[in-house]
Amino acid sequence: MRSRRPKVLHAVAGKPLIDYPLDLCREIGVEKPIVILNPHQAEVAAHVAERCEVVYQREQMGTGHALQQVPEERLRGRRVLVLYGDMPLLQADTISRVVAAQEGYAAGMLATTGHPDYGRILRTPDGTLDRIVEARDVTPEQREIDEVNAGPCCFDGDAVLRALDTLTADNAAGELYLTGVFGALETVQIVTADPDEAIGVNDRVQLAQAEALMQHRLRERLMQAGVTFTAPETCLVDAAVEIGQDTLIEPFTILRGETRIGEDCVIGPHADIGDSAIGDGCTVQHSWLRGCKLGAGSDCGPFSKLRPSTEVAERVHVGSFAELVRTQVGSDSAVPHFSYLGDAVIGSRVNIAAGTITANYDGEKKNPTVIEDDVFVGVDTMLRAPVRLGRGSRTGAGSVVTKDVPPGATAVGVPARVIKRKAAE
């Protein structure tokens, strides 16, 4: 990978490679898988620690040697499913078929496919498996074989323990290959897999190939569930993203992390949304959202930025060139354009006019601004936090508010002073 980051922590569709086989294990009912790691991969061990047992391969002597590091008592008398940490495109159905086909009558079960770049399957004249020759060891004649090892395999634990003892390192790499055990097993069944599922990631080119295939799979799954992509090939969707029925995804939209989008929304074009919750009937255009919530019927953009811990209620209009961070906006309010709201609590039915700024940072700490219900904030108002605008109050254009404004009052000037009071309804 030519990277300081361990290979299996590189991501496809926003999820580290190692998470894909671990999620498959959970999906098919494996409660505590074993992950075999290089002892120098502390970062990987920390990432997987809560979901699995870690076993270390202290000498890198091949995949067969890796399985030999698992304590015998963990294998004996069990079925042993082996997956690889760099194959993100495997699907649960394929793994389930491999496990089911092995159960009860086969010492080993192997998935094969037609992908051209992996170990070749050699068969006897009667069609049974003879052995597997790894890609770097194949002869020119064997290279013409179009049936290859897809990767996942399942064994009878007692049988594979005996077969592991027969492995030798008489190959180009001088390693103990796990595929070598199949020649020592009495019975082997074979399941055919989709060639795309067999793609492993060993460099940045293969990482990009896996990403492209995964993106196609994820978009297709969403479209079949009732989501419209007007130009699907221009959009990126992370694996954990959920989108409701009849939502329209416009071109050049990026949906990242744990994003949840409701029904009947219009997202994009050029929307970049991460780890956010978007309610039903929302519109987000040409905007950047991270770690925020947008209530049903609200809209955002174009060219707005909603930063983490921002919560926008129902039927709120956040217009062009607005930035909100750690801010709550009540229902039926509007921040139409050219405003910055930081560490603010905005009530319902509030109008924030163009050029409004909450000056929330005093050089040492962030301070809150509270704007109660039914407030009208005039153009180019600066609110020096901490400050509160009472219910039904107003500010004049260009005001610099340094003190609380009572409910129902109007404040104007620099610094702002109250020029009119009336009882708040």
pLDDT of 302-339, one tens digit each?
999 999 999 999 999 999 999 999 999 999 999 999 99
Domain membership of residue 206 (yes or no) is: no
Six-digit token string for 109: 């079960």
CA 108 – CA 415 distance, rounded (Å): 81
Same domain, 188 and 244: no
Q: Residue 110 carries which side chain, given as an amino acid letter?
A: L
pLDDT above 90 as % of the chain: 87
Domain membership of residue 133 (yes or no) is: yes
CA 190 – CA 31 distance, rounded (Å): 25
Same domain, 16 and 90: yes
SS3 21: helix
Domain membership of residue 222 (yes or no) is: no
Average pLDDT over residues 174-183: 92
CA 247 – CA 282 distance, rounded (Å): 9
SS3 25: helix
Average pLDDT over residues 126-143: 89
Same domain, 321 and 270: yes
CATH number at residue 391: 2.160.10.10
Domain membership of residue 121 (yes or no) is: yes
Domain membership of residue 90 (yes or no) is: yes
| End-to-end CA gap in the chain | 66
CA 225 – CA 220 distance, rounded (Å): 9
Structure-derived torsion over alpha carbons of residues 370, 374, 380, 381, reported in degrees to the nearest 10: -40
Average pLDDT over residues 192-202: 92
CA 181 – CA 163 distance, rounded (Å): 5
Same domain, 240 and 161: no
Same domain, 170 and 82: yes
The whole-number pLDDT of residue 165 equals: 94
The total of other beta-carbon atoms located within 10 Å of residue 320's CB is 17
Whether residue 237 is predicted with pLDDT greater than 90 in this model: the reply is yes
**Which of 180, 198, 216 is at the close of a domain?**
198
CA 51 – CA 18 distance, rounded (Å): 11
CATH number at residue 105: 3.90.550.10
**Which of 198, 213, 243 is at the close of a domain?**
198
Burial profile 74-109: b = 16 or more Cβ within 10 angstroms, e = fewer: ebeeeebbbbbbbbbbbbeebbebbbebbeeebbbb
Same domain, 190 and 331: no
Domain membership of residue 93 (yes or no) is: yes
DSSP-assigned letter for residue 8: G
Q: Which of 272-286, 303-317, 349-363, 411-425 has the lowest mean pLDDT?
A: 411-425
Same domain, 231 and 116: no
Whether residue 425 is predicted with pLDDT greater than 50 in this model: the reply is no
Cα 30 to Cα 77, 155, 271: the distances in Å are: 16, 15, 38
Same domain, 235 and 160: no
Same domain, 151 and 267: no
Average pLDDT over residues 66-77: 95
CA 307 – CA 96 distance, rounded (Å): 42
The whole-number pLDDT of residue 358 equals: 98
Average pLDDT over residues 7-33: 96
Domain membership of residue 323 (yes or no) is: yes
Domain membership of residue 233 (yes or no) is: yes
Domain containing residue 18: 7-198
pLDDT band at 114 (very low <50, low <70, confident <90, very high): confident
Q: Which residues are catalytic?
A: 337
Same domain, 149 and 258: no
Residue found by looking up tokens 């961070």 in the block: 325
Same domain, 168 and 249: no
How big, in percent rounded to 5, are the helix, strand and coil portions of the chain? 20, 30, 50
The whole-number pLDDT of residue 323 equals: 98
Q: Are 280 and 262 in contact (CB under 8 A)?
A: yes
The whole-number pLDDT of residue 48 equals: 97
CA 105 – CA 79 distance, rounded (Å): 12
Q: How many domains does the chain have?
A: 2
Length of the chain in residues, anyone? 425
**Which of 198, 216, 251 is at the close of a domain?**
198
Six-digit token string for 162: 């005996």
Six-digit token string for 324: 């909100």
DSSP 257-303: TT-EE-SS-EE-SS-EEES-EE-TT-EE-S-EEES-EE-TT-EE-SS
CA 211 – CA 231 distance, rounded (Å): 17
What is the pTM assigned to this prediction? 0.92
Same domain, 150 and 74: yes
